[in-house]
């Protein structure tokens, strides 16, 4: 029997209604042995890599990704050469340039990258980030007219623009050329631009569709740098910029936009973290300080500490704050901006908590009538439109099904966000709903989507989602599995083990963090801390202890069971992290699941 076909530790139905299985299949375990024998890879690392479909022959490159080996030729992206030519023309002619970005981390980092390069070359440029509530996503006509009125001759859209037909048309009318640098899914009908670089356009054969916008912009800067060198434009007054020094921004955008950590993305993140460790960016240094980052920057710091604070500006404050911080060279100003972003993030957290309680009450009322809907669609006129995406994500995690959260204004127009579960393509459904007239606007990708909807179509939209996904969601929830990378004890979860584990990182989308089961460990103590988190300690049968935390689970069956079973043995599963406390590094378990100890003998 293949290891993945039998329950790990005989856990058929855990506290989160999952079957525990071993991640690595028999074939993958064979690949792991090959990595050990032929390529001298550490056995633990080999097992982790094989379980994530890394081939033995590719293990060395995966563990030590280099830009020299993995960075694609920018010219392989459709219309990249045309984009580089137009950008170089703007540099050599000293044209005024407008950079139009998105209001999330990827948009801020992509905008900052372009701004840094152009400013280095002496080009007068400005960044424009739209207000999420009043302007919405992508370039809009009033903004285009403002930028043209300030004498911009070239508009560069980053992390947006691939579907902005009207705005591009207006820009052309006003004498502004448009170059789009984007990565979002796009239809075959493209706006009339000088160049539209998007590795996800239908006619792009580069194979770089996993790039975020910051990655696309970085490739554009490589192409622009090459074009300026070919023109022999650099001189004693302006030397070529060191693009490698800006990889910290590429890493931040890559991690926070949750794009797959494969290929060149792995090199971006690893090299970017090295740059971040040098603490040369006043903005990132200030942000790390207010976020109370402990120890050298790691991928999870980017995703869970720095990213949310940059996003907070776009959600409930000044959308331009993130880009301002990332382009700031004055440490004092950077500290002021970072402090404001930290304050906005705290406000966002409080707002989200109140909204989440209301949304959960609404959702649980629906489940009280039966099995509940296959896709949750919650709404309110009191919710902040900048936080509905986070709300949808929390609902998706709690109820294990695709979820939408919609904020309606007083006129009956709703702005909403959806988050999905693996196996359910929400973006495709939203695009179809737009075509059927159920939504005024909508778009996205498989795991996330944004919509604009009128209140009178809300019922039709719910019915459309139910009809489309009911069987699919039911099947996925009936066969939920937690893939376990191996069994571990509290004594084994030490600094040395964690250091070995990190050699297969960074972990993230497309390269999930290893999950370990701790068999028959007793709960020493447990308490509720912070915003519904559960802090606890495990004791192994040999007496060793390990601290753990479960995020936002205090009201869930998992959290309630941990809190009420002090002294009882349980099987516990989660991922490992490290932090620094009073100058000492410690390992902590991040709880994912738990199960009763069975009398049966496990694998």
Q: Once rounded to an integer, what is the mean pLDDT over residues 232-259? A: 95
Q: Do 506 and 579 fall into the same domain?
A: yes
In angstroms, the CA 211 to CA 509 distance is 12
In angstroms, the CA 135 to CA 140 distance is 7
Task: Give pLDDT, residue 369.
Answer: 53
More reliable by pLDDT, 428 or 336: 336
Q: What is the CATH number of the domain that holds 533?
A: 2.40.50.140
Q: pLDDT, tens digit, for every residue of 13-33?
A: 999 999 999 999 999 999 999
On whether residue 289 sits in a domain, the answer given is no
> With 90 as the cut, is the pLDDT of residue 367 above it?
no
Burial pattern 134-143, b for ≥16 Cβ within 10 A else e, equals ebebbbbeeb
Q: What are phi and psi of 297, to 5 degrees?
A: -60, 135
Range with the lowest mean pLDDT among 258-262, 360-364, 586-590?
360-364
Burial class (CB in 10 A: 0-12, 13-18, 19+), 603: middle
Q: Do 538 and 389 fall into the same domain?
A: no
Q: Do 563 and 429 fall into the same domain?
A: no
Task: Give pLDDT, residue 377.
Answer: 94
pLDDT more than 90, % of the chain: 81
On whether residue 353 sits in a domain, the answer given is no
Q: Do 104 and 219 fall into the same domain?
A: yes
Longest CA–CA span in the chain (Å) reads 77
Residues 6+ apart with CB under 8 A from 263: 70, 208, 210
> With 90 as the cut, is the pLDDT of residue 228 above it?
yes
Q: pLDDT, tens digit, for every residue of 483-518?
A: 999 999 999 999 999 999 998 989 988 899 999 999
On whether the CB atoms of residues 562 and 535 are closer than 8 A, the answer is: no
Q: Where are the beta strands (DSSP E) in 33-153?
A: 97-101, 125-128
Q: What is the CATH number of the domain that holds 388?
A: 3.10.310.30
In angstroms, the CA 62 to CA 504 distance is 8
On whether residue 339 sits in a domain, the answer given is no
On whether residue 87 sits in a domain, the answer given is yes
> With 90 as the cut, is the pLDDT of residue 583 above it?
no
Q: Do 102 and 166 fall into the same domain?
A: yes
Q: Do 492 and 446 fall into the same domain?
A: no
In angstroms, the CA 194 to CA 235 distance is 28
Q: Once rounded to an integer, what is the mean pLDDT over residues 329-335? A: 96
Q: pLDDT, tens digit, for every residue of 79-93?
A: 999 999 999 999 999
On whether the CB atoms of residues 546 and 490 are closer than 8 A, the answer is: yes
Q: Do 438 and 580 fall into the same domain?
A: no
Confidence of residue 368 (pLDDT cuts 50, 70, 90): low
> With 90 as the cut, is the pLDDT of residue 571 above it?
yes
Q: Do 398 and 541 fall into the same domain?
A: no
CA nearest to 445, candidates 462, 423, 430: 430
For residue 581, the number of C-alpha atoms closer than 13 Å in the C-beta half-sphere is 7
On whether residue 405 sits in a domain, the answer given is yes
Question: Domain ends where: 480, 514, 540?
Answer: 480
Confidence of residue 603 (pLDDT cuts 50, 70, 90): very low
Q: Do 494 and 454 fall into the same domain?
A: no
On whether residue 336 sits in a domain, the answer given is no
Range with the lowest mean pLDDT among 17-21, 137-141, 292-296, 319-323?
292-296
Q: Do 563 and 428 fall into the same domain?
A: no
Q: What are phi and psi of 416, to 5 degrees?
A: -135, 165
Task: Give pLDDT, residue 602.
Answer: 43
Question: Domain ends where: 445, 480, 515?
Answer: 480
Domain extent, residue 516, equals 3-23+485-596
Q: Do 496 and 421 fall into the same domain?
A: no
Q: What is the CATH number of the domain that holds 107?
A: 3.90.1640.30
Whole-model pTM: value is 0.91
Domain count, the chain: 3
Strand order in the sheet with 125-128: 125-128, 97-101, 154-158, 177-181, 195-197
On whether residue 360 sits in a domain, the answer given is no
Confidence of residue 536 (pLDDT cuts 50, 70, 90): very high
Q: Once rounded to an integer, what is the mean pLDDT over residues 589-599? A: 90
Range with the lowest mean pLDDT among 36-40, 384-388, 446-450?
446-450
> With 70 as the cut, is the pLDDT of residue 3 above it?
no
Cβ neighbours of 102 (radius 10 Å): 26
Task: Give pLDDT, residue 153.
Answer: 97
Q: Do 19 and 141 fall into the same domain?
A: no
CA dihedral (366, 367, 368, 369) positive or negative: positive
In angstroms, the CA 74 to CA 437 distance is 39
What average pLDDT is seen over the chain?
Answer: 92
Q: Once rounded to an integer, what is the mean pLDDT over residues 295-323? A: 92
Q: What three-state secondary structure class fits 51?
A: coil
Task: Give pLDDT, residue 601.
Answer: 46
Confidence of residue 370 (pLDDT cuts 50, 70, 90): low
Task: Give pLDDT, residue 600.
Answer: 53
CA-based R_g, the chain, Å: 25
Task: Give pLDDT, residue 361.
Answer: 87
On whether residue 489 sits in a domain, the answer given is yes
Task: Give pLDDT, residue 509.
Answer: 87
More reliable by pLDDT, 392 or 582: 392
Confidence of residue 398 (pLDDT cuts 50, 70, 90): confident
In angstroms, the CA 22 to CA 305 distance is 31
In angstroms, the CA 544 to CA 111 distance is 49
pLDDT more than 70, % of the chain: 97
N-term to C-term CA, the chain: 12
Kind plus residue range of the DSSP H or E element containing 519? strand 516-529
Residues 6+ apart with CB under 8 A from 3: 21, 22, 24, 25, 26, 29, 603
The torsion region of residue 582 among left (phi > 0), alpha (psi -120 to 50) and beta comes to left
Question: Domain ends where: 244, 265, 281?
Answer: 244
């Amino acid at each position: 029997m293949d290891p993945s076909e039998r329950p790990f530790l005989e856990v058929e139905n855990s506290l989160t209604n999952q079957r525990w299985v071993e991640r690595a299949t028999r074939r993958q375990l064979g690949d792991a042995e090959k990595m050990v024998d032929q390529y001298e890879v550490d056995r633990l690392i080999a097992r982790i890599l094989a379980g994530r479909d890394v081939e033995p022959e590719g293990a060395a490159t995966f563990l030590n990704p280099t830009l020299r080996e993995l960075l694609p030729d920018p010219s392989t992206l459709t219309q990249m050469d045309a984009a580089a030519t137009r950008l170089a023309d703007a540099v050599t002619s000293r044209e005024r340039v407008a950079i139009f970005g998105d209001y999330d981390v990827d948009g801020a980092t992509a905008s900052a990258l372009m701004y840094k390069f152009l400013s280095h070359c002496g080009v007068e440029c400005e960044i424009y980030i739209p207000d999420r509530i009043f302007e919405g996503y992508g370039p809009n006509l009033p903004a285009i007219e403002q930028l043209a009125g300030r004498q911009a001759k070239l508009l560069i859209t980053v992390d947006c623009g691939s579907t902005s037909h009207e705005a591009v048309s207006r820009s052309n009318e006003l004498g502004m050329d448009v170059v789009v640098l984007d990565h979002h899914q796009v239809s075959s009908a493209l706006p009339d631009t000088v160049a539209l670089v998007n590795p996800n356009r239908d006619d792009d054969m580069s194979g770089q569709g996993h790039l975020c916008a910051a990655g696309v912009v970085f490739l554009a800067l490589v192409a622009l740098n090459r074009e300026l060198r070919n023109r022999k434009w650099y001189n004693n007054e302006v030397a070529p910029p060191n693009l490698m020094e800006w990889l910290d921004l590429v890493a931040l955008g890559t991690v926070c936009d949750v794009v797959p950590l494969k290929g060149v993305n792995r090199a971006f993140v690893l090299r970017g973290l090295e740059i971040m460790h040098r603490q040369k960016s006043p903005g990132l240094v200030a942000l790390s300080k207010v976020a109370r980052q402990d120890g050298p920057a790691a991928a999870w710091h980017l995703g869970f500490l720095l990213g949310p604070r940059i996003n907070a500006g776009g959600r409930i404050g000044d959308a331009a704050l993130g880009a301002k911080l990332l382009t700031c060279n004055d440490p004092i100003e950077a500290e002021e901006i970072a402090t404001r972003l930290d304050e906005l993030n705290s406000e966002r957290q409080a707002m989200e908590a109140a909204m989440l309680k209301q949304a959960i009450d609404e959702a649980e009322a629906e489940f009280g009538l039966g099995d509940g809907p296959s896709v949750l669609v919650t709404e309110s006129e009191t919710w902040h439109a900048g936080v509905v995406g986070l709300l949808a994500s929390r609902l998706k995690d709690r109820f294990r099904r695709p979820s939408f959260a919609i904020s309606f204004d007083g006129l009956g127009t709703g702005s909403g966000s959806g988050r999905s579960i693996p196996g359910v393509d929400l973006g495709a459904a939203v695009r179809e709903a737009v075509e059927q007239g159920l939504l005024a606007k909508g778009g996205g990708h498989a795991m996330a989507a944004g919509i604009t909807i009128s209140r009178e179509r809300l019922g039709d939209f719910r019915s459309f989602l139910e009809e489309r996904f009911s069987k699919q969601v039911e099947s996925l929830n009936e066969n939920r599995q937690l893939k376990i990378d191996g069994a571990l004890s509290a004594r084994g979860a030490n600094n040395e083990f964690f250091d070995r584990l990190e050699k297969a990182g960074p972990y993230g989308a497309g390269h999930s963090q290893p999950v370990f089961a701790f068999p028959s460990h007793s709960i020493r103590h447990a308490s509720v801390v912070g915003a519904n988190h559960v802090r606890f300690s495990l004791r192994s049968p040999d007496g060793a202890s390990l601290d753990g935390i479960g995020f936002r689970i205090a009201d869930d069956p998992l959290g309630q069971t941990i809190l009420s079973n002090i002294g009882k043995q349980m099987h516990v599963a989660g991922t490992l992290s490290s932090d620094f406390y009073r100058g000492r590094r410690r390992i902590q378990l991040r709880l994912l699941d738990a199960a009763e100890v069975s009398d049966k003998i496990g694998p």
